């Protein structure tokens, strides 16, 4: 990897990891497994170690979890709530002990006792007691600043409100979690009531704890297990085991599998026992945490970055199973992305029955050589969607899976962008899978800006079959009577909506073009395209021409990716029909440019070489004012090439094609005389 590539990859990783942090911590909706997340973090750390000068200010390594969201008040922790380094093998655990020994300058035969306990898959919380009374409870947040969840925590039965014989200041840290059984029952209740269904117990716990109204938290089955402490006015003991015993005596629940071991080997045996029991435990765990027992050693070891040197999390490997891939189905996402889903013969993996896997994309199917009927090994890490890790029957004589080239939801062509693995449906306007997103975009502020047509109304009207595609919005008037008969609609609101829609007929073409939701076409690109082609009809004609992509790419500000997206969009008959319908209804005002009608109107001019009396932009603006179009490349459709010193291939091509060539001076004369 070159340095530039490393820099690019670090930027991508920072963005990607931040996104997964938000999904996990803020939205309680992870998209990838913990193992995949860890792999991203490790890749980032390895690159940062190799290229320390490329470490970014927004490095994921510098942040713990996600910054707190704004709904709850913020709390700065008296002592930061940090994170743990991960170990993935026995060797990693031995290394951890070796590093600690070296740091403490211990001899080989000095025993290093370790505690070991399950790593609970919950949400960490810090509980502050002053004079024995619970005064503050906070989530971890970004490690420095968390969220105040005191009233919510008061509703958790496991957590004592009052302590006797406790240090004057005591911060107890531990996990708020939901048992597997309570989680399943909660999800059933939520589903029956049409509420949010959680992906896993951890998300259930986080979503339940971070409620604005503590009454909501009270209705959720949350539990707590203590595993450490923050600020203390006096020590809880001289060892981890003693301190934990002290917490237990004060009334805090401590997991029964917490144990003290003379060294790494014994602690590793406990890990194996916990892993064996994992599926039968009442709550989700994702590893075992080892801590050096002696607190004076913990003190000396301190922290590095965001994690203590005296503790490590030994993660469980992903759980695996074998089954048959019965069918491969293609799902269309809200943005038109086609995702293959594997339907499996149901199989148990780590206590959960799995019948679906994501197959990610076309390349992944090809990489694994997957066909319907194959035996596959699947793995499940954490509680996110399991995946196929191996095809066990790659050589069997069955037909290869044919990836569709049409969208299963609407039949439009599905294409991959250059260099992209994802395949997307091009029927944006007419595809039912993309309907809601498209309609929302169409009426949004920057596009048609139709007041009173929010997501709820769009969904309501779509369910009634009144709007399937944007042009239906302009036909809503025919449903006026039915609308008036619906709950929540009064004459005033119905007429206001219909008037808002009416007012949008005659909107400028650039907003309409932007509103079509063509990939990569923002409002600026929409304007650039219309500046060049004048009308959506003319743009469509150009896009559909033999040389469509080249002609679109020649527009200032339009690159090949945009050109291809516009070309693909207008290539799809469903989209053309819809555009025609829209143009009939909306009759948008033509795009107004500052061009004059001259003999150069509609002609194409290319500037090449260096210009001496004006900038390239000025020259192009002059051409546009004459009604001409400034293009970036020379083709048979070019009418004039203005060539300055240093002109190369474009000039040569113009000469070959017999196109008129002018000097800068001649051009100035053309402008003056036009």
Judged by CB under 6 A, how many residues of this single chain contact ligand IVH? 15
**Contact set for ligand IVH, span 411-450 (CB under 6 A):** none
DSSP state of 347: E
Kindly tell me which of 77 and 620 has the beta carbon lying closer to ligand IVH. Answer: 77
Kindly tell me which of 175 and 293 has the beta carbon lying closer to ligand IVH. Answer: 175
> What are the structure tokens assigned to 286, written together?
């994702």
Is 37 known to sit in a ligand binding site?
yes
* Residues in contact with 102: Cβ distance below 8 Å, sequence separation at least 6, in sequence order: none
Among 175, 182, 293, 624, binds ligand IVH (CB under 6 A): 175
DSSP state of 518: -
CB 283 within 8 A of CB 180: yes
Is 117 known to sit in a ligand binding site?
yes
> What are the structure tokens assigned to 673, written together?
């005389």
Is 36 known to sit in a ligand binding site?
yes
Is 34 known to sit in a ligand binding site?
yes
- The minimum distance between CB 124 and ligand IVH, in angstroms, equals 3
Compute the distance between CA of residue 358 and CA of residue 381 in angstroms, rounded to an integer: 13
Binding piece for ligand IVH, criterion CB under 6 A, among 113-121, 261-269, 272-280, 381-389: 113-121
Q: What are the backbone angles phi and psi of residue 463, rounded to the nearest 5°?
A: -60, -35
Among 45, 55, 78, 82, binds ligand IVH (CB under 6 A): 82
Binding piece for ligand IVH, criterion CB under 6 A, among 76-84, 163-171, 416-424, 569-577: 76-84
Kindly tell me which of 39 and 197 has the beta carbon lying closer to ligand IVH. Answer: 39
- DSSP string covering 193-248, please? TT-PPPSSHHHHHHHHHT-SSHHHHHTS--EEEEEEEEEESS-S-SBHHHHHHHHH
Cβ neighbours of 363 (radius 10 Å): 12
Kindly tell me which of 120 and 199 has the beta carbon lying closer to ligand IVH. Answer: 120
- The minimum distance between CB 64 and ligand IVH, in angstroms, equals 8
Among 84, 209, 631, 651, binds ligand IVH (CB under 6 A): 84
Q: Does 247 bind ligand IVH (CB under 6 A)?
A: no
- DSSP string covering 124-164, please? EEEEEEETTEEEEEEE-TTSSEEEB-HHHHTT-TTS-SB-S
Kindly tell me which of 240 and 540 has the beta carbon lying closer to ligand IVH. Answer: 240
Indicate the burial class of 194 (C-beta count within 10 angstroms; 0-12, 13-18, 19 or more).
Answer: exposed
Q: How far is CA 572 from the centre of its chain?
A: 29
Is 84 known to sit in a ligand binding site?
yes
Cβ neighbours of 618 (radius 10 Å): 11
DSSP bridge partners of 147? 74
Binding piece for ligand IVH, criterion CB under 6 A, among 116-124, 495-503, 545-553, 638-646: 116-124
Is 431 known to sit in a ligand binding site?
yes
Provide the phi-psi class of 276: left if phi over 0, else alpha when psi is between -120 and 50, else beta.
Answer: alpha
Binding piece for ligand IVH, criterion CB under 6 A, among 114-122, 272-280, 349-357, 615-623: 114-122
- The minimum distance between CB 241 and ligand IVH, in angstroms, equals 13
Q: For ligand IVH, which residue has the nearest CB?
A: 124
> What are the structure tokens assigned to 587, written together?
């009759």
Kindly tell me which of 82 and 661 has the beta carbon lying closer to ligand IVH. Answer: 82
Active-site amino acid positions: 119
Kindly tell me which of 283 and 667 has the beta carbon lying closer to ligand IVH. Answer: 283
* Residues in contact with 223: Cβ distance below 8 Å, sequence separation at least 6, in sequence order: 156, 157, 158, 176, 177, 178, 179, 182, 253, 283
Compute the distance between CA of residue 553 and CA of residue 562 in angstroms, rounded to an integer: 8
H or E segment at 273? helix 264-277
**Contact set for ligand IVH, span 262-321 (CB under 6 A):** 289, 308, 311, 313
CB 158 within 8 A of CB 137: no
**Contact set for ligand IVH, span 568-607 (CB under 6 A):** none
Q: Does 153 bind ligand IVH (CB under 6 A)?
A: no
User: What does the per-residue mask of binding to ligand IVH show for 205-244, with x meaning CB under 6 A?
Assistant: ----------------------xx----------------
Compute the distance between CA of residue 37 and CA of residue 447 in angstroms, rounded to an integer: 37
Q: Does 538 bind ligand IVH (CB under 6 A)?
A: no
Kindly tell me which of 41 and 523 has the beta carbon lying closer to ligand IVH. Answer: 41
Is 38 known to sit in a ligand binding site?
yes
Kindly tell me which of 172 and 552 has the beta carbon lying closer to ligand IVH. Answer: 172
- The minimum distance between CB 202 and ligand IVH, in angstroms, equals 10
Nearest to 81 by CA among 178, 147, 161: 147
- The minimum distance between CB 188 and ligand IVH, in angstroms, equals 26
Farthest CA pair distance, the chain: 98
CB 25 within 8 A of CB 72: no
- The minimum distance between CB 116 and ligand IVH, in angstroms, equals 9
CA distance between the termini of the chain: 55
- Binding-site sequence positions for Zn(2+): 407, 410, 425, 431
Residues annotated within the binding site are 34-38, 83-84, 117, 140, 175, 291, 315, 407, 410, 425, 431
Under the rule (CB under 6 A), what is the footprint of ligand IVH?
Answer: 82-84, 117, 119-120, 124, 140, 175, 227-228, 289, 308, 311, 313
Binding-site residue positions for NAD(+) = 34-38, 83-84, 117, 140, 175, 291, 315
């Amino acid at each position: 990897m070159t340095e530039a590539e490393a820099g690019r990859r670090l930027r991508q990783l920072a963005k990607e990891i931040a996104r997964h942090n938000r999904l996990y911590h803020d939205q309680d909706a992870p998209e990838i497994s913990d193992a995949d997340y860890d792999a991203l973090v490790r890749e980032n750390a390895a690159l940062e170690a190799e290229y320390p000068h490329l470490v970014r200010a927004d490095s994921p390594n510098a942040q713990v979890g996600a910054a707190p969201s704004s709904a709850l008040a913020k709390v700065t922790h008296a002592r930061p709530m940090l994170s743990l380094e991960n170990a993935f093998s026995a060797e990693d655990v031995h290394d951890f002990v070796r590093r600690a020994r070296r740091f403490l300058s211990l001899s080989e035969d000095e025993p290093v006792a370790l505690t070991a306990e399950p790593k609970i898959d919950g949400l960490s919380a810090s509980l502050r007691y002053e004079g024995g009374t619970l005064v503050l409870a906070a989530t971890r947040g970004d490690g420095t600043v968390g969220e105040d969840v005191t009233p919510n925590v008061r509703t958790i039965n496991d957590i004592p409100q009052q302590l006797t014989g406790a240090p004057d200041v005591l911060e107890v840290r531990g996990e708020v979690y939901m048992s597997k059984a309570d989680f399943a029952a909660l999800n059933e209740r939520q589903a029956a009531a049409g509420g949010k269904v959680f992906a896993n117990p951890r998300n259930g716990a986080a979503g339940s704890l971070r409620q604005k109204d503590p009454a909501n938290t009270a209705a959720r089955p949350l539990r707590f297990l203590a595993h450490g402490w923050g600020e203390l006015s006096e020590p809880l003991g001289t060892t981890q085991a003693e301190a934990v015993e002290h917490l237990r005596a004060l009334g805090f629940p401590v997991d029964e599998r917490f144990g003290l071991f003379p060294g790494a080997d014994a602690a590793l045996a406990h890990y194996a026992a916990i892993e064996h029991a994992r599926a039968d435990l009442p709550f989700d765990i994702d590893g075992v945490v080892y801590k050096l027992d002696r607190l004076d050693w913990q003190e000396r070891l301190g922290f590095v970055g965001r994690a203590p040197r005296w503790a490590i999390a030994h993660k469980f490997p992903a759980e695996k199973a074998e089954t048959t891939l019965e069918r491969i189905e293609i799902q269309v996402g809200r943005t038109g992305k086609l995702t293959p889903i594997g339907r499996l013969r149901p199989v148990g993996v780590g206590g959960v029955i799995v019948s679906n896997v994501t197959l990610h994309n076309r390349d992944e199917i090809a990489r694994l050589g997957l066909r319907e009927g194959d035996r596959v090994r699947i793995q499940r890490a954490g509680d996110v969607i399991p995946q196929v890790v191996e095809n066990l029957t790659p050589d069997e004589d069955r037909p290869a899976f044919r990836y569709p080239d049409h969208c299963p939801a609407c039949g439009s062509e599905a294409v991959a962008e250059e260099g992209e693995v994802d395949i997307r449906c091009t029927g944006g306007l007419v595809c039912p899978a993309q309907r809601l997103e498209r309609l929302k975009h169409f009426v949004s502020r920057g596009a048609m800006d139709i007041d009173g047509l929010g997501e709820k109304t769009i969904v309501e009207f779509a369910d009634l079959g009144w709007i399937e595609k944007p042009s239906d919005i302009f036909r809503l008037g025919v449903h006026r009577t039915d609308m008036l008969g619906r709950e929540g609609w009064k004459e005033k609101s119905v007429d206001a909506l219909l008037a808002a829609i009416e007012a949008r007929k005659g909107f400028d073409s650039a907003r309409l073009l932007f509103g079509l939701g063509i990939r990569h076409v923002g409002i600026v690109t929409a304007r650039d395209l219309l500046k060049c082609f004048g009308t959506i009809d003319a743009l469509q004609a150009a896009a559909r021409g033999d040389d469509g992509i080249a002609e679109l790419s020649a527009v200032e500000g339009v690159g090949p990716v945009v050109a291809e997206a516009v070309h693909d969009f207008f290539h799809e008959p469903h989209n053309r029909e819809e555009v025609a319908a829209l143009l009939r209804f909306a009759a948008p005002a033509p795009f107004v440019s500052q061009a004059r009608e001259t003999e150069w109107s509609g002609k194409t001019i290319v500037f090449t070489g260096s210009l001496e009396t004006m900038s390239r932009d000025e020259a192009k603006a002059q051409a546009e004012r004459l009604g001409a179009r400034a293009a970036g490349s020379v083709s048979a459709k070019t009418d004039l090439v203005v060539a300055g010193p240093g002109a190369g291939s474009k000039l040569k091509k113009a000469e070959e094609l017999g196109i008129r060539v002018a000097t800068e001076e001649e051009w100035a004369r053309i402008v003056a005389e036009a």
